[in-house]
Amino acid sequence: MGKKIVVVGGGIMGLSCAYYLSKEGYRVQVLDKSAMDAGASYVNAGYLTPSHIIPLASPGMMAKGIKWMFNSSSPFYLKPRADLEFLKWAWYFHRSSTSGKVEHSIPIIAKINVLSKQLYQEMHDSGDLGDFQLEKKGLLMLFKSRKAGLQELEVMKRVQDLGLEARELTPGELSAMQPGLSPDIEGAIHYLCDAHTTPNQVMEKMKSYLLAQGVEIHTGTEVTGFSGTGDTLSGVKTSVGDFPADEVVLASGSWSPKLVRSLGLKLSLQAGKGYRIDMHRPTPVQYPAILMEAKVAVTPMEGFTRFAGTMELSGVNHNILKNRVAAIAAMGSDYYPGLDFTPAELEGAACGLRPVTPDGLPYIGRVRPWKNLCVATGHAMMGWSLGPATGKLVTEIIAGRPTSMRLDGLGPDRRF
């Protein structure tokens, strides 16, 4: 029998790790304190985004955060609070938001995104999960101001330099592709290198596949600590008992810093709350799009259209601010005139917590001093896109094989 591996966390990261680890012949157990039917892996925009090469920590972002700090409906909301870990994270974020560090991050983000998109395709082609939505219509970046358009043109050129397909659309081309847009939209960039999925669909199919392969999934199982001696962990302690382990994978998203404290580890990470509104009726939306000035993502999924967005740094909680939901709806109606949200649709809004590192790069890899602990978290708004790549890399690390890409810059114990 292969090694027994305990994966802490049942979101897209944890399930992707379980997927590749089980294929390697390991005995895998997934632990999650929830029912595994909600959260960031279920409420995201479903994008696979090789085009998203700029990290959240970029020049000007902290200034925007401070500017919007007292506006709880703003796209990037930093809730003022006297929390030492948050203040440290904010300082590290500020230090990471330089042109030089962004330049360092761009090729790393591009490589892991391209790898992950390829793995989604392989997963789809393998038939392991049955059929699931994987559409390659690309992604539209819609802008109303020329300033926003010029900024995105610069990103487009960088994306093209990396060998990825993207182009600027003329107003006529945009109108033909996506009717029903507001006439004050000045233009769009079409990232043909991107794709989209329906997250809920993929998550349910992934769970069914893993169970059929013998992977144990334990819901309602809260991790309370770890056991081990020296530099080796021997198991995971939970609310329902202990789980012996030869290897432990920490894929617990925004809850990761709290879980590793008992191991003497510190992960600088903040929960970035995102919201979604689903519209289960016909809409004019034919292409995935990001409404640039509004920072809202729109996705035509299987059976419904999703409007998702905002980054709210307010701690680990699932409190829904109705003004933020209303802001997403207002922007949706603004870019797609005549698209009115019903009270029931607004009331049905949900949120999820995305783990955000100070430099916008995920934590993937071993973490000292523990020789059998692997961390897989901190993917922020690219979590859905990067799930398979992370699972593949974690499996290669545990198997002792060369990784599919270099892990420079992704170490969990890096300094900011």
Q: Read off the pLDDT of each residue in 114-126 and give the average, rounded to a whole number.
A: 98
Cα separation values, 281 from 38, 93, 284, 305, Å: 22, 40, 10, 8
Give the mean pLDDT of 100-123.
Answer: 97
The number of distinct structural domains making up the chain is 1
Residue 130: domain span: 4-399
Q: Say if CB 255 and CB 316 are below 8 A apart.
A: yes
pLDDT at 341 over 70: yes
For residue range 123-164, what is the model confidence (pLDDT) as tens digits?
999 999 999 999 999 999 999 999 999 999 999 999 999 999
Question: Is 298 inside any structural domain?
Answer: yes
228, pLDDT greater than 70? yes
Q: Is the pLDDT of residue 342 over 70?
A: yes
Report the mean per-residue pLDDT for the chain.
Answer: 95
Residue 2 vs residue 357, higher pLDDT: 357
- Is 277's pLDDT higher than 70? yes
Per-residue pLDDT, averaged over 167-190, amounts to 95
pLDDT band at 1 (very low <50, low <70, confident <90, very high): low
Whether 408 is covered by a domain: the verdict is no
- Hey, what are 220's tokens? 């309602």
On the question of pLDDT at 193 being above 80, the answer is yes
Mean pLDDT of 361-369: 96
Pair 192, 165: CB distance under 8 Å:
yes
Return phi, psi of residue 144, to 5°. -100, -25
Token code pair at residue 56? 């959240």
Per-residue model confidence (pLDDT) at position 328: 96
Nearest to 103 by CA among 54, 64, 162, 50: 54
Question: Residue 407 falls within a domain, yes or no?
Answer: no
Q: What is the pLDDT of residue 69?
A: 66
**Is 33 within a domain?**
yes
Residue 405 lies inside a defined structural domain of this protein: no
Q: Does some domain include residue 292? A: yes
CATH number at residue 287: 3.50.50.60
DSSP-assigned beta bridge partners for residue 148? none
Q: Percentage of residues in the chain with pLDDT exceeding 90?
A: 92
Per-residue pLDDT tens digits for 301-313: 999 999 999 899 9
What is the predicted pLDDT for the residue at 82?
85
CB atoms < 10 A from the CB of 237, how many?
14
Residue 412 within a domain: no
Task: Output the six-digit token pair for 412.
Answer: 């969990």
pLDDT of residue 322: 95
pLDDT at 266: 93
Give the pLDDT confidence of 22-79 residue by residue, as tens digits. 999 999 999 999 999 999 999 999 999 999 999 998 998 777 777 766 678 888 888 8
In a domain, 9, yes or no: yes
Mean pLDDT computed over 189-215: 98
| pLDDT score for 72 | 81
Q: Nearest 5 degrees, angle CA 175-CA 277-CA 205?
A: 100
State how beta strands 223-229 and 232-238 pair. antiparallel
User: Which among 75, 12, 73 is positioned nearest to 38, based on CA atoms?
Assistant: 12
